[in-house]
């Protein structure tokens, strides 16, 4: 559904040139949910704006929804939806009006536009807000309008830029539900960006980690985590050194550390290591008080790939009012 | 394309229809000129062919109205650019040209409404002019406003925040206004001022308006003025559509 080769974008400002995106290759199959994970300034928005025909690439090529991005931008636009980081509600628009306008811009005739808008307002729980000025809506309500606006023409591919940035947890969960059901029930291919690890983890079939304009890692959330450090196993016991000796014999075990109350070590896969570890402990007569397996987070992935933590810049991307 | 233009027009005229008072508020400056400056000229200005000074002053003020409404139009684009409205529309199949023309059409219509109010006020103050000339003058002013608004939107795209946009607009509109004889016929001025005013397209618009308001429809001033305004309109719309197109892949 999306095929990108060598996509790059350089910005020239008065004083400097910024290589915002430097040679991105990626493929997204129909029906996939793929996420771009990276810190602020990594080049996520720039990539998305190129893929949605808003920004001319400095180099590279792409096919989006079956059409060449550079040669057939008008055909691409018919088949994609885009929800920008700050949304796209007019400062003086009203909910229904904004939706109808977008449907009409997508060439739906008056009747079809009205039916489609009713359907979307129902789906996104906007019916009661139909005549409200969008400027008066809460963040979560506005985000639902943004999503509905991006979907008026039932696009094959939906691009979401930081869909839940600055939302409260409940609204966030709602957006996640909508994204999931859109993909599950309508088969919409979804390409989203986020700098939240839990979001990438919760929504994406595949994650592309982007930093300084290039992709530094790719895989399913669980693959990525395994690639970095395997799982962390923690065993509580009154005899840590005995546990440590047995744990050290497990295939692939490393970084075994003992504390006063237990042992901590890494194995490639915690779920398959435990069935080996536990009988061995029983056989050796070592009693334990607790066992825990942690999957490493995408924080660990990012740290391992880039040498710095994901959230070393604390500044949040601003959301347009 | 006409359909897209109408869609964009209806969208951008929405706020005006909801609170029509904004039409008046944005022309306060022009009304002040009319009411507080116009009467000063009643005994001062005697122009051949004009029965009273309002026939000279009102057409000038009409051009000033078109200038302000047109040139300042870009300010309305800035919040939309910031809110992502423009990008949201650009990810639809809508014609790029319509995104500009729909807004220009809005300014043409708003200018016409304002011009009617202005001319009614002028009539109340004592202006007497032939109806046909006034209507033609109004249409010419509306096209002029469209030309300026196309230029204004194009500048706004290039300078998308108020700090950069406002000084440019102000430093262009004021000389354009002063060098066009909007307030007093430039013929009253010294030779060098008249020479400078000749490169200002607005001068020709003002001269044409004045001829129309005294009913001199066949005057070369009318032909020249209409031609200049239409050419400027064509050029600014061309410039605008090019930059609206260039903004994307
Ligand atoms: N229009 C622009 N002009 C100049 N630099 C830009 C522009 N847009 C983005 N950048 C720069 O490109 C880099 C990537 O930005 P962006 O794609 O917005 O990152 P992200 O969305 O991942 O936070 C940043 O360094 C940003 O400052
Ligand atoms: Mg961004």
Contact (Cβ atoms closer than 8 angstroms) between residue A301 and residue A147: no
CA B69, B75, B139: angle at the middle one, nearest 5? 20
**pLDDT at residue B56, rounded to an integer:** 86
Of B15, B87, B249, which is closest to A70 when you measure between CB atoms?
Answer: B249
Task: Provide, as residue numbers in chain A, all residues whose Cβ is less than 8 Å from the Cβ of B92.
Answer: 77, 102, 105-106, 153
Third-level CATH fold of A231-295? Alpha-Beta Plaits (3.30.70)
Under an 8 Å CB criterion, which residues of B touch A? 4, 7, 11, 14-15, 18, 79-80, 82-85, 87-94, 247-249
Of B83, B84, B92, which is closest to A105 when you measure between CB atoms?
Answer: B92
Mean pLDDT of B161-169: 93
What per-residue string of b and e applies to B17-45 under the rule 16 or more CB within 10 Å gives b?
A: eeeeeebeebbeebbebbeeebeebeeeb
Ligand 1 binding pocket includes A44 (Cβ within 6 Å):
yes
Third-level CATH fold of A2-219? Rossmann fold (3.40.50)
pLDDT tens per residue, range B66-81: 999 999 999 999 999 9
In tens digits, what is the pLDDT along chain A, a chain of 321 residues?
999 999 999 998 888 999 999 999 999 999 999 999 988 889 999 999 999 999 999 999 999 999 999 999 999 999 999 999 999 999 889 999 999 999 999 999 999 999 999 999 999 999 999 999 999 999 999 999 999 999 999 999 999 999 998 888 889 999 999 999 999 999 999 999 998 888 888 899 999 999 899 998 888 888 877 666 678 888 999 889 899 999 998 888 887 888 888 888 888 888 888 899 999 989 988 888 999 888 776 666 776 677 666 665 544 444 433
Contact (Cβ atoms closer than 8 angstroms) between residue A82 and residue A150: yes
Q: Is the interface score ipTM higher than 0.90?
A: no
Tokens encoding A250: 């497990």
Of A49, A149, A153, which is closest to B88 when you measure between CB atoms?
Answer: A149
CB neighbours of B128 closer than 8 A, spacing ≥ 6?
B51, B52, B54, B55
Contact (Cβ atoms closer than 8 angstroms) between residue B78 and residue B156: yes
**Which residue from A5, A29, A78 is spatially nearest to A188, judged by alpha carbons?**
A29
Domain locations along chain A: 2-219, 231-295
**Residue B49's pLDDT band (boundaries 50, 70, 90)?**
low
| A135 at B interface, C-beta within 8 A | no
Mind telling me how many Å the CA of A320 is from chain B's nearest CA?
A: 6
- Residue A45 Cα to ligand 1 midpoint, Å, equals 7
**Which residue from A113, A102, A12 is spatially nearest to A56, judged by alpha carbons?**
A12
| Inter-chain contacts counted by CB atoms under 8 A, chains A and B | 82
């Amino acid at each position: 559904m999306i095929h990108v080769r060598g996509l790059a974008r350089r910005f020239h400002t008065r004083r400097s040139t910024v290589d915002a995106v430097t040679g991105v290759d990626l493929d997204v199959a129909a029906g996939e949910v793929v996420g771009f994970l990276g810190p602020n300034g990594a080049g996520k928005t720039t990539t998305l704006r190129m893929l949605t025909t808003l920004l001319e690439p400095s180099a590279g090529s792409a096919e989006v929804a079956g059409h060449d991005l550079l040669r057939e931008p008008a055909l691409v636009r018919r088949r994609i939806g885009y929800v920008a980081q700050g949304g796209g509600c007019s400062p003086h628009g009203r909910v229904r009006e904004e939706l109808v306008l977008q449907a009409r811009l997508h060439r739906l005739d008056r009747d079809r536009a009205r039916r489609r808008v009713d359907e979307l307002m129902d789906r996104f729980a906007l019916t009661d807000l139909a005549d409200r000025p969008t400027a008066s809506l809460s963040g979560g309500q506005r985000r639902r309008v943004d999503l509905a606006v991006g979907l008026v023409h039932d696009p094959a591919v939906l691009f979401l830029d930081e869909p839940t940035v600055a939302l409260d947890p409940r609204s966030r969960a709602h957006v996640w539900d909508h994204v999931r059901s859109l993909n599950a029930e309508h088969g919409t291919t979804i390409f989203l960006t986020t700098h939240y690890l839990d979001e990438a983890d919760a929504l994406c079939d595949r994650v592309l980690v982007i930093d300084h304009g290039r992709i530094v890692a790719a895989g399913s959330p669980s693959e990525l985590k395994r690639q970095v450090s395997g799982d962390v196993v923690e065993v509580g016991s009154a005899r840590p050194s005995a546990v440590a000796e047995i744990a050290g014999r497990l295939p692939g075990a490393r970084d075994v550390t003992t504390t006063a109350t237990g042992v901590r070590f890494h194995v490639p896969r915690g779920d398959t290591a435990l069935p080996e570890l536990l009988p061995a402990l029983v056989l050796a007569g070592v009693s334990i008080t607790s066992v825990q397996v942690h999957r490493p987070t995408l924080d660990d992935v990012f740290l391992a790939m880039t040498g710095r933590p994901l959230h070393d810049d604390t500044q949040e991307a601003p959301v347009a009012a | 394309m006409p359909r897209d233009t109408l869609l964009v027009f209806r969208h951008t005229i929405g706020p005006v229809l909801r609170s029509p008072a904004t039409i008046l508020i944005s022309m306060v400056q022009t009304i002040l000129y009319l009411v507080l400056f116009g009467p000063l000229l009643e005994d001062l200005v005697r122009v051949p062919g004009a029965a009273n000074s309002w026939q000279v002053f009102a057409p000038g003020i009409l051009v000033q109205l078109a200038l302000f409404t047109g040139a300042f139009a870009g300010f309305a684009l800035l919040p939309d650019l910031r809110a992502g409205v423009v990008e949201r529309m650009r990810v639809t199949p809508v014609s790029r040209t319509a995104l500009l023309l729909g807004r220009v059409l809005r300014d043409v219509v708003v200018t016409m409404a304002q011009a009617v109010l202005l001319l009614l006020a002028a009539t109340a103050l004592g202006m007497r002019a032939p109806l046909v000339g006034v209507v033609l003058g109004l249409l010419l002013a509306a096209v002029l406003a469209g030309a300026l608004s196309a230029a204004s939107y194009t500048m706004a795209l290039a300078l998308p925040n108020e700090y950069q946009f406002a000084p440019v607009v102000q430093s262009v509109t004021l000389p354009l206004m002063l060098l066009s004889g909007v307030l007093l016929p430039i013929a009253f001025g010294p030779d060098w001022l008249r020479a400078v005013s000749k490169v200002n397209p607005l001068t020709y618009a003002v001269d044409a308006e004045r001829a129309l308001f005294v009913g001199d429809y066949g005057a070369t001033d009318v032909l020249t003025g209409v031609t200049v305004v239409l050419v400027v309109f064509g050029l600014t719309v061309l410039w605008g559509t090019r930059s609206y197109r260039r903004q994307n892949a």
